[in-house]
Structure 1
Amino acid sequence: MIRISLKKHLFSFTFHLFYSTVPASSRANVLVDFMVNSLGFSTREAISTNAKVTRLRLRNYEPHLLLDLFDQMGLNKSQIKTLISSSPELLICRVDETLKPKIKVLQQLGLSGSDLVTFIRKSNFMKRGLHTILKPSLNYLMELLGSQDSVAKVVKREPRLLSSNLPKVIPPNITLLQNLGFSRMDIETIFNRHPRFLLNNPEWLESAVNRLEKNFHMSRESGMFLHGIVVLGSLDESKLQRKLGIFRSFGWSDSDICKMVRKLPYCLASSETEIRITLKFFMNELGYEPSYLASHATLLKHSLEKRIRPRNEILKFLKENQLITRNLSLYTVVKHTELQFLKKYVLPFRAEMPEAYDLYMKTRS
């Protein structure tokens, strides 16, 4: 157990930190030694972490209580190191008064082990009050989503959600979207998939609505409209224009771009690098036209390396070896699930042409 294996380090560290008469700078060295000897930090990592901690107050340090809590949570040394590295303030927090009650609330929600590590690492967990932010926000999510399981899923998906005062931030955005004609169910469905979308300033969401209607000619009745708000709500104007500029540099007209956005707004959510690489593959290597890609926008969102390229190689292989005679498009092949694709285009030919199977597995890896 962590508590047993670190016992002698804890005793030595605690003694020197609280009872030594050496200067604070020397006590900081003791902290570095503790991180190196007890938690597996390199000397450089420990010094870097220590520099962040020594700007804070060391008198609250409770190493035995902290590691006892981590032990009870079932964390291993690697997970503890990850937590301390990302949140050095854990080293000097009041464990019983501050940390333990917050951990308990999350455990009651259903988070444990690696989920807790991820949550603490990615959120401003330690800087948010239990009774002012965490509990009110969790209570609000229960009212909004209706079940503890749904709340746990959305918190795991987006740990930074609980860094905001949700009862204050979310309702104005829901009201705005309802006034635009969207149902509560539609809004909650999108929120489950993209939790941060309702954390935007209402004026910013309204701006996204206006841009969708005026710049991309998307109707509010479109099933993609809310998705479009999610995407444009995450992009400032300069970033959006840079992405549109990449499409235009490949010969796309504004009409092509609008058609693509109306089909699948998430094409604009890809990074600039991803957009450029994807367009090079489809247009320069395969010779596809902008109008075709705009009409078959899902091609642009599937993983190029894990899905598009491997399946394209198999399709070429089957056609070159006349194992399929019908005119089969890459778009049709890409739409299949992994299991469907294997059953239709790989496994039936494995005995006759084992190269097909080997080629697919190789290109996927």
Structure 2
Amino acid sequence: MALTLVQHFRHFRPGPSSSSSSSSSSSTSFSFPFPFTALFPLNKPNSAKPPRLFIFRPLSSKRSAYATAATDDKSLSFTADYLVQSCGLTPAAAAAASQRVQFSTPEKPDSVLALLRSHGFSNAQISKLVNRRPSLLLATPESSLLPKLEFFYSIGVSRSELAKILSRDPTPLCRSLQNQILPSYEFLLGFLESDKKIISAMRRTSWVFLLDYTKNLAPNMEHLSKLGVPKSCLSLLFAHFPEALLKSHEEFVENAREVVEMGFDLKKTVFVLAVHVISGKGNRAIMERCKEVYARWGWSEDDIKVAFRKHPNCMILSEKKIDRTMEYLVNEMKLPARRISQCPAILFFSLEKRIIPRCEVIKVLLKKGLLKRDFSLSTFLLPPEERFLDRFVEGYQEEAPELMSVLRRKRDSTEAQ
């Protein structure tokens, strides 16, 4: 739950909220904690607007036109110089940014930069932020920017992390705290149930605080809920892969249908992971490249399907990562490529810190005849470090006392490379 500051902000929140009662439900079906229309009206009534008046003032002389142009040029030049000297932009970036914002005195932008620096933004981060949203230099620090920073601190975002997030995408600083950020937070809290998960989603994309949830996100989550996907799985998908849920509703329904037809269990996290993997043209293109790489290493179509069913994310790994791991396991360890498809999780492990050091231990055990050749990869690569040491190092202390030094030496050598 947010801290006192957030509770203070809630006093100004439009509309009632009843997130506490609905978010505590333990049933599989997901119900939303408050009516969306209270926060995000779908159909806003047209308000009567006064007719726009266009007043044409003829220039008294060519001289006044020249004076106006000279003033504009001066402001433009001052802005560009300021962006280079005070914000660290390149001359080209400053010239482009000065077309979007102009000022002729340094007082207001200086106050914005002072606020950002006092809250831990580095010069490089300020440069990125200003380059992306130069209009923020004309914001009022105390009344506009500071309350938003304090809100994010109040839900647990550290200063260093917030600076990193906002320099990557400063859009939240341009939106209304009361009308956009706080209602978004209420929605997220009602669904994810903890600030920690909200922060996790924010790390993936700050747009979780900027969306109209009635458009795609809420309908997409409701669709999965109706299919029988548990709320815990929905929370995992939203906390770690929110971009999958932000697809258009039509595309998302089709993606979910495709995963259901593949035979994935709706009650397990692997289902929502598969939904994430096949979401979007980018992921699908990566999938096709991964299939080609696995095929080069001898995987059949059935092997690829088995691996995808066990760990969907193995289909969006980088080609380099796949090749390096397969190269070592197949060529160095002499393992059949198909055996790796039975345990695709090992493809995510560090080659230097985990796979090679542990495999060196296995080599010693094989050479001494203490381990059979048909050992399972999952038995020594998947367990946590303590369990691995207990079974494969300390368990053979009498027969192979050198195992611990082999493990440490190999780790030191691979990490130093």
TM over 0.5: yes
Matches within 5 A, 1:203-352: 203-214=250-261, 216-220=262-266, 224-234=270-280, 236=282, 237-317=284-364, 319-320=366-367, 322=368, 325-327=370-372, 329-342=376-389
Partner of 1:55: 99
Could you give the per-residue CA deviations for residues 139-176 of structure 1, whole angstroms, max 9, x where no partner exists? 21122123334433432454342242335432101111
Bigger mean CA deviation after superposition, 110-119 or 58-67: 58-67
The answer on 1:121 being equivalent to 2:195 is no
Q: Number of aligned residue pairs: give it.
A: 336
In structure 1, the residue matched to 2:111 is: 65
- Offset of residue 177 of structure 1: 0.3
The residue type paired with residue 85 of structure 2 is F
> Is 1:23 aligned to 2:68, yes or no?
no
CA contact (8 A) 2:343 2:377 kept: no
Distance 1:222 1:153 in 2: 21
Note the C-alpha offset of 1:222.
Answer: 5.5
CA 97–55 in structure 1, closer or farther in 2 if over 3 Å, else same: farther
Identity across matched positions, percent: 23
Deviation at 1:350, TM superposition (A): 7.7
Question: How far apart, CA to CA, are the structure 2 residues paired with 1:185 and 1:355?
Answer: 42
- 1:16-63 Cα shifts (integer Å, max 9, x gaps): xxxx9982354145315532xxx6x4xxx4324413321212239613
Larger Rg: 2
CA separation of 1:343 and 1:230: change in aligned 2, threshold 3 A: same
Equivalent residue, structure 1, for 2:232: 185
CA contact (8 A) 2:75 2:103 kept: no
* Letter matched to residue 329 of structure 2: F
Contact 2:238 2:245 in 1 (8 A): yes
Pair 1:300–1:152, CA change in 2 (3 A): closer
Select 2:409's aligned residue among 355, 358, 365: 358
What is the TM-score with the length of structure 1 in the denominator?
0.77
- CA 1:238–1:94 in structure 2 vs 1: closer, same or farther (change >3 Å)? same
Map 1:76-115 to 2 at 5 A: 76-77=122-123, 79-81=125-127, 83-84=129-130, 87-115=133-161
Residues 32/87 of structure 1: CA separation in 2 closer, same or farther (3 Å cut): closer
Q: Which amino acid aligns with 2:101?
A: R
TM-score by length of 2: 0.68
Aligned residue in 1 for 2:17: none
CA deviations 1:72-96 (Å, max 9, x no partner) are 4244545544544555443344434
The alignment yields a C-alpha RMSD, in angstroms, of 3.4
Change in 2 beyond 3 A, CA 1:137/1:350: farther
Q: Distance in 2 between matches of 1:357 and 1:350?
A: 13
Q: Classify the secondary structure of the residue corresponding to 1:256.
A: helix
Q: Which structure has more helix as a fraction of its residues?
A: 1
Instruction: Point out where structure 2 has 5 or more consecutive residues left out of the alignment.
Output: 1-70
- Deviations along 1:125-148, one digit per CA (max 9) or x if unpaired, are 245443443222112112212333
1:321-341 CA distance string (max 9 Å, x none):
x4x823355432211223444
8 Å Cα contact 1:256/1:290 also seen in 2:
no
Larger deviation, residues 130-139 vs 340-349: 340-349
Higher relative contact order, structure no. (Cα contacts within 8 Å, ≥ 6 residues apart): 2
C-alpha separation between the residues in 2 aligned to 1:197 and 1:296?
Answer: 25
Contact 1:314 1:360 (8 Å CA) reproduced: no
218, 224, 243: which is aligned to 1:171?
218
Distance 1:231 1:352 in 2: 39
Change (3 A) 1:68 1:115: same
1:166 partner amino acid: Y
Deviations 1:294-353 (A, max 9, x none): 222212222333322232234325544x4x823355432211223444565568678787
